[in-house]
Homo-oligomer: A and B are copies of this chain.
């Protein structure tokens, strides 16, 4: 088969990690007899530099004409002092909105080989951790009306509509059906009207998934439970702002934050795939960045957008083998392992494919 992939290398280490990851994908193409056609497009800081716009319309058009989007990382201090709508973040938020990527899937997985990097005590984290945060990505306070009352006040509206909650809840329950059949809804229903509304719709959707156990946590409690008892979670479903906070917290407790992928899905199969880490401008261009989060984001792309399950499994297995053989980039290096650069890490993964 022939697949069209829009590629957004972005800023900082973006081009390096994306470069290595498309090489891995080429190897998959060879092995499984597919063709991946890449179209490179601009967003974020490089787009600001090139055309004074963090998200050129051409980028949106090419993404929409593709089967999936692979993104490196956007942003960096160079563009941090621009006005809000001119900053790299505006490119990212614009991509999510204009591509309709309403469901952000954030697996938080503990890599066995990196268990020692986990900040939690072994008796809390145990041998394994595997949860999925499903974050609503195109609504809520991120995209609500906002404004100022002169110099006196400023405000943002956190709003959710019925169809917005219905579809993200369905996504969460559908994912839970393929996992351990447990959904934890996180909101602040004891204070927020939008949360009471959200929760009632999640409960409504749960009726269509009688096999899935549903419970509810207030967001403050969820932030605590992630630290004290993360193993209780299978799928967490929550809104855009709470999801931003909790998905990052969940990643951090795995200790594997440099290794974690994400998928941002639209209706149907279309999605954008990216590592959860940032653009790390301090090590850009030095062959130091860890490409694994991007490589496993490519695996997610194969699995979720292209329905190439065997191919996705192959990449994930190759990554695990590479780690088991002791290859480490600087960020995950420990004594007794073998330090490699971005490019060599990619080669090692390809060897194990």
Whether A154 lies near B197 (C-beta < 8 A) is yes
Contact A158 to B156, CB < 8 A, known contacts A146-B194, A245-B220: yes
In contact, A193 and B244 (Cβ under 8 angstroms): no
Q: Is A253 an interface residue (CB 8 A)?
A: yes
A30, B331: Cα distance in complex, Å:
59
Does residue A188 face the partner (Cβ distance < 8 Å to B)? yes
Q: A121-B121, A151-B162, A153-B159 are in contact. List 4 more A-B contacts (CB 8 A).
A: A141-B192, A155-B157, A156-B194, A188-B241
Asked whether A193 lies within 8 Å of B148 as measured between CB atoms, the reply is: yes
A151 to B248, CA, bound (A): 32
B161 touches A152 (CB 8 A): yes
Closest to A193 in B: B146
Knowing A87-B190, A146-B194 touch, does A156 contact B154 (C-beta < 8 A)? Answer: no
Count of residues in A whose CB is under 8 Å from the partner chain: 55
Which residues of A (183-239) have their CB < 8 Å from a CB of B?
188, 190-194, 196-198, 219-221, 223-224, 227-228
User: Are B223 and A248 touching (Cβ within 8 A)?
Assistant: yes
Cβ contact of A194, chosen from B154, B159, B190, B249, cutoff 8 A: B154
> How far apart are A224's CB and chain B's nearest CB, in angstroms?
4
Q: Is B162 a contact of A193 with CB atoms below 8 Å?
A: no
Contact with B along A243-274 (1 / 0, CB 8 A): 01111110111000100000000000000000
Give the CA-CA distance A247 to B141 in the complex, in Å: 21
Interface assignment of A93: CB less than 8 Å from any CB of chain B: yes
Q: Which residues of B lie under 8 Å from residue A191 when comparing CB positions? A: 89, 93, 141-142
Is A281 in the interface zone, CB < 8 Å from B?
Answer: no
Measured between beta carbons, the chain B residues less than 8 angstroms from A141 are 158, 191-192
Residues of the B chain whose Cβ atoms lie less than 8 Å from the Cβ of A284: none
Contacts of A283 in B (CB 8 A): none
Contact A253 B241 (CB under 8 A): no
Q: List 17 A-B contacts (CB under 8 A).
A: A84-B196, A89-B191, A118-B121, A119-B124, A120-B121, A120-B227, A147-B193, A153-B197, A154-B196, A157-B157, A219-B244, A219-B245, A220-B249, A223-B249, A224-B257, A227-B249, A249-B249
Output the nearest chain B residue to A149 by Cβ-Cβ distance: B161
Kindly list chain B residues whose C-beta atoms are within 8 Å of the C-beta of A197. Answer: 148, 153-154
Are B156 and A162 in contact (CB-based, < 8 A)? no
Q: Closest residue of chain B to A87, judged by CB?
A: B190
* Complex Cα gap A154–B146 (Å): 16
Contact between chains at A157 and B156 (CB < 8 Å): yes
For the complex, what is the distance from the CA of A231 to the CA of B156, rounded to whole Å? 32
Q: How far is the CB of A95 from chain B (nearest CB, A)?
A: 14
Q: Which 5 A-B pairs have the closest CB atoms?
A: A154-B197, A155-B159, A146-B193, A153-B161, A224-B252
Contact of A193 among B155, B158, B160, B246 (CB under 8 A): B155
Residues of B within 8 A of A152 (CB): 161-162
Q: Does chain B have a CB within 8 A of A285?
A: no
Q: Are A227 and B84 in contact (CB under 8 A)?
A: no
A223-B223, A249-B249 known; A194+B120 contact, CB < 8 A? no
| A126 in contact (CB, < 8 A) | no
- Residues of B contacting A330 with CB < 8 Å? none
A311→B151 CA distance, assembly (Å): 44
The interface residues of chain B lying within 8 Å CB-to-CB of A248 are: 220-221, 223-224
